[in-house]
Amino acid sequence: MLDIVLIRRDPERVRRSAKRRGIDPSFVDDVLRLDAEYRSALTDVERAKAEKNALSAQIGRAADKATAARELRPKLDALSAEIAGAEERVRASAPETPQSRLAELLTQTPNLLDESVPDGTGEAENVVLRTSGEPEPLAFAPKPHYEIGERLGVLDFERATKLSGSRFTVLMGGGARLARALVDFFLDRAARSGYVEVAPPFLVTRQTMWWTGQLSKFSDAMFVDPEADAFMIPTSEVPLTALHANEILAADRLPLKYAAYSPCFRKEAGAAGKDTRGLIRQHQFEKVELVWVTAPERSMEALERLTLDAQSLLEELELPHRVVALCSADIGFSPAKTYDLEVWFPAQGVYREISSCSNCTDFQARRAHIRFRREPNAKPELAHTLNGSGLAVGRALAAILENFQEADGSVRVPRALRSYVGTEKLTPVER
RNA sequence: GGAGAGGUGGCAGAGUGGUCGAAUGCACUCGCUUGGAAAGCGAGCAGAGGUGAUGAGCCUCUCGGGAGUUCGAAUCUCCCCCUCUCCGCCA
């Protein structure tokens, strides 16, 4: 959520950011008007309440309270009626009232873009910053990971469909082992880089989803049991970022760096027909998520660090990849700036997202009330939150299958993973 | 799921209808003291919002959350949530 005070004082900045995102900026004028109406109603309520409180205090001080109360009765009743009326106007217009038009506009307003974000109108205008490990041309036609996986007997899509429907996968034998190795590898590297490992709940409340701004972004894409008020997390960014909701942290604790393994659940309703084959787009996938909580002035350098932390995993896995700065139109709802890590898939000859690293600045912190104090008696300030995958397990597994495939259908295990997997090679099985 | 106890400021812990946003202690900040420190002494120290100049001041709201009674609620009533103890069930 944006700071209403900032919208009031610098509406032009909000309009500019909205335009760059490709959003009609006229909502800013509506926000300004509705906010003015709200504050006027609020002032009315507060003035009447102050008057009434003063009279009540007068009764409290009187020697004969009953008489005092009786005498002030007409005034008090008039004030009560006035308060009730004005309160109704406040309720109807308040940004805290979910049904109010102002709340609706504010909750739909995305974060302000960072100045360094390249302008663009879509995915095509994202900027490649650096490429690492140029893909080597193979001496044979590379197969897609789902064919390799089935041939190896490590990916079973048919049985997954039997169990759970489309967009699920059963990992078998070396595939399951490789996936677990990746998780261990990611978490070990995160620990080495100073991240605290966290094992969070995978079900969270509506409140928690709201805190991290997921309700607008993923509301259609989430698995939910409304009766139990339980949402299956679409990413462990949710529990990790919300970990310190409603807290005031000491400055010397920052930055907080957390790493969590978790399954992630998404309906992907809007993606029907896209990436229907293989591990790329699943209702359930796993990843290790990295989250930072920093002081505002450190968050941009933290984003660079976080991105490098994620990128180093691809380096160690010897997977060809590139780092892309998302352009203004492609950046998500909460982030001010995002770098995507894209890994090479030789079968299709494309780079695909395997990690998305974002600086959400104070956007999530404002909703979740994640604050810190610079000095022991200083005023609390909003912290900045960042998140990035480090990395997505399914896509990493798919990338390994495709990039390390041999002509005979076997797949080499990347050196960095061999001690975790216990073998150097996955070989095809007869079925 | 059942029974009981309880949820107050960073922490501990008073407060059962009238200037209580809240005693006291600890922690913390500043000052005095000291060669320096500790102790001691003095002062300060919750958050959010409105109004002002992103100042001072003033005002409103907040004692787990919500509704209610009352001129007035941390204090009384109702609902919900959470924690602890015991029982049941379970991994």
Please give the nucleotide, over all strands, whose C1' is closest to the CA of residue A4: B49
A266 is catalytic: yes
Between CA A280 and C1' B48 the distance (Å) reads 45
Between CA A191 and C1' B13 the distance (Å) reads 40
Does the CB of A45 fall within 7 Å of any strand B atom? yes
**Those residues with Cβ within 8 angstroms of residue A425's Cβ, 6 or more apart along the chain or in another chain:** A410, A411, A412, A413
What is the percentage of chain A residues whose pLDDT exceeds 70? 97
- Identify the structural domains of chain A with CATH numbers, from first to last: 4-108 (1.10.287.40), 123-426 (3.30.930.10)
Between CA A207 and C1' B65 the distance (Å) reads 13
Exposure string over A68-101, b if 16+ CB within 10 A, otherwise e? bbeebeeebeebeebbeebbebbeebbbeeeebb
The DSSP symbol for A94 reads: -
Instruction: Give helix then strand counts, H and E, for chain A.
Output: 15, 18
> Chain B bases under 7 Å from protein CB?
10, 18-19, 28-29, 44-45, 47-51, 59-61, 71-72
Closest protein residue to B61 (Cα–C1'): A46
| Average model confidence (pLDDT) across chain A | 91
Does the CB of A89 fall within 7 Å of any strand B atom? no
Average pLDDT score over residue span A156-185: 94
Between CA A201 and C1' B90 the distance (Å) reads 19
Catalytic residue among A71, A353, A381, A406: A353
Catalytic residue among A20, A167, A177, A395: A395
A344 Rama class: left (phi>0) / alpha (psi -120 to 50) / beta: beta
- Greatest mean pLDDT among A80-84, A166-170, A412-416 lies in A412-416
Does the CB of A199 fall within 7 Å of any strand B atom? no
Does the CB of A427 fall within 7 Å of any strand B atom? no
DSSP-H helix ranges across A109-223: 145-152, 157-164, 174-192, 206-211, 214-218
Does the CB of A80 fall within 7 Å of any strand B atom? yes
| Closest to A213 in 3D by CA, of A109, A367, A359 | A367
Banded model confidence at residue A412, pLDDT cuts 50, 70, 90: very high
Least confident of A51-60, A162-171, A177-186, A371-380: A371-380
Between CA A414 and C1' B1 the distance (Å) reads 51
A395 is catalytic: yes
Please give the nucleotide, over all strands, whose C1' is closest to the CA of residue A371: B47
Catalytic residue among A100, A328, A334, A356: A356
pLDDT digits (tens, 9 = 90+) for A359-370: 999 999 998 889
| Closest to A191 in 3D by CA, of A290, A339, A295 | A290
Whole-number pLDDT of residue A318: 95
Does the CB of A163 fall within 7 Å of any strand B atom? no
Does the CB of A52 fall within 7 Å of any strand B atom? yes
A353 is catalytic: yes
Cα distances (angstroms) measured from residue A5 to each of A9, A39, A106, A227, A336: 6, 12, 12, 37, 18
Does the CB of A287 fall within 7 Å of any strand B atom? no
Between CA A76 and C1' B53 the distance (Å) reads 36
pLDDT digits (tens, 9 = 90+) for A115-165: 999 999 999 999 999 999 877 777 888 999 999 999 999 999 999 999 998
pLDDT digits (tens, 9 = 90+) for A231-280: 899 999 999 999 988 888 888 888 999 999 999 999 875 555 677 788 98
Q: Complex ipTM above 0.95?
A: no
User: Does position A431 have pLDDT exceeding 60, yes or no?
Assistant: no
What is the percentage of chain A residues whose pLDDT exceeds 90? 68
A352 is catalytic: no
Between CA A394 and C1' B89 the distance (Å) reads 37
| Closest to A61 in 3D by CA, of A272, A53, A291 | A53
A132 is catalytic: no
At A144 the three-state DSSP class reads coil
User: Does position A212 have pLDDT exceeding 90, yes or no?
Assistant: no
Exposure string over A30-49, b if 16+ CB within 10 A, otherwise e? ebeebbebbeebbebbeebe
Task: Identify the residues numbered 292 to 321 in chain A whose C-beta atom is closer than 7 Å to any atom of strand B.
Answer: none
Q: Is the dihedral of CA A27, A32, A33, A38 positive or negative?
A: positive
- For chain A, what is the largest distance between any 2 Cα atoms, rounded to a whole number of angstroms? 101
A157/A162 Cα distance (integer angstroms): 9
Between CA A57 and C1' B23 the distance (Å) reads 21
Banded model confidence at residue A218, pLDDT cuts 50, 70, 90: low
